[in-house]
Structure 1
Amino acid sequence: MPGRTAIMSNAGSSDRKEGAIQRVPTERAGQTNVPPGTESSYTLVVFVNDHPGAVDRVIGLLRRRRASMQKLLVGRSELPDVVRITVSVTDSEVRFDHLLEQLRKIVDVRHIVNLSTESVVARELALVKVNSTAANGSEIIELGHLFGAHAVDVTGDTITLEVTGSEEKIEKLVSQLQSYGIREVARTGYVAMTRGTGDNG
């Protein structure tokens, strides 16, 4: 009839919703959840051709695979056309193995070294700027010497120390300098290679 609003019945709609198939997102291989405490730390050196976008593809894969990157350092290698990527990740063994498989499929990846299974030499460089006064300047420099650090900049109210060594060594020095008041810390992240005749490339 004119002017009458038709009322549509919703009867049975709740039943249809309850009976509907719920789509559960599936995880890709290598991305399954793992129990806490089963992850380990791994360090890789990835040698990549110095082509446009090559490094971005490696880093992009690490992000897509949800790898927990602790450190990432990109630099030149002994070959003029090869870039060296040092990366540390925390992951389960299964997901790490799958990550290696995926990295090897990237066209510009020439070689991968898993330093986690090798005897390596690893070093990191840090610059630490500390508050100083005329009274404690010598004390700060002497403290740095205990860790093999030396002053690279001295002003009326700051001292900047340069130190090279293991991550643990640098952490200890920074901890010891906290009482003086740290202005700034810059760290490179560590570089590493196999000991002796081990071939990284």
Structure 2
Amino acid sequence: MYKVLSCLLFIGIIALSGCGPTTQVTRIDSDTVVDLSGRWNDTDSRMVAETMITDCLSHVWINNHNQTSGERPVVIVGSIRNKSNEHIATQTFISDIEKAFINSGKVRPVSDKSERDEIREERADQSEHAAIETIKRMGRELGADYMMTGEINTIEDREGGRQIVFYQTNLTLTNIESNEKVWIGEEKIKKYIGRKKFKM
């Protein structure tokens, strides 16, 4: 009798374990817009960056620079601070900004501080180990004319299973030599998040 009960218990455990939730993964196009939680996501990052850089490059500062220097302005993206109450991958947003700058063809973006340090180490290493005709010289970096900085803020309003999340991104472009702010832009996103309650 004991063996029969043990066998039935074992079969029951196996049966129950097979009834658990399963995970299904489907690959989708990286440009597909998917909002699961309503939080800031890759689509928000890309769209905000593209919209704001398009606006930035349509203002008078770039024409003034081109007329004065005769060359495309050199731009560096500085810190983008996350002042929201959620985790936002600001480095991804910075990369989206740099990509929008590069794709415009109107400015010359340069590497930020962390990237420069790594590149300088490589040049120093080349001076010791690379063939003379392939060594890249020191002191040939492009000095940036302008720096872009900014921040991302959120405001939330929540009631029951409903929630409104408001994102505001502010970016500023500053002339590094004169400290003059030549462009200030903002972009807003408002999301309604409704959560259904399960009925037993």
TM exceeds 0.5?
Answer: no
Question: TM-score category by the smaller chain?
Answer: under 0.3
Higher helix share: 2
TM-score (norm: length of structure 1): 0.26
TM-score (norm: length of structure 2): 0.26
